[in-house]
Amino acid sequence: MEVPYHPPVKRSVEIAGHKTSISLEPLFWEMLKQAAVREGVPVNALVARIDAERLEADQPPGLAGAIRIWLVVQSPPTRSISAPAADSFSSSRS
């Protein structure tokens, strides 16, 4: 499978009547559009819902990161993935 590497693309969205820009890779924009269709809501409404959910977290991520996380969590599982412990990654490379 070829991985679709591409730099982020900035797009404007409206959350609670306020315009803001979000930078996501095209793959995530497409996944977001598909999720909005599945949910039966406009993309802006889905982004607003994700934004509200992330703000409830103890340590909320940035909006773009929250969207990516939400999309990965919501996507159909292709394999079993467990969340790594916060200290399980080393800063050194093998």
Whether 90 shows a pLDDT value over 60: the answer reads: no
Residue 4: DSSP 8-state? -
Q: Rounded to whole angstroms, what are the CA distances from 15 to 7, 12, 87, 91?
A: 24, 10, 34, 36
Domain ranges of the chain: 9-74
Q: What is the mean pLDDT of residues 20-25?
A: 96
Query: Cα–Cα distance between 61 and 41 in angstroms, integer?
Result: 23
pLDDT of residue 87: 53
Report the percent of the chain where pLDDT is more than 90: 70
Whether 93 shows a pLDDT value over 60: the answer reads: no
Q: Select from 11, 26, 17 the least CA-distant residue to 63.
A: 11
> Which architecture does CATH list for 9-74?
Orthogonal Bundle (1.10)
Whether 76 shows a pLDDT value over 60: the answer reads: yes
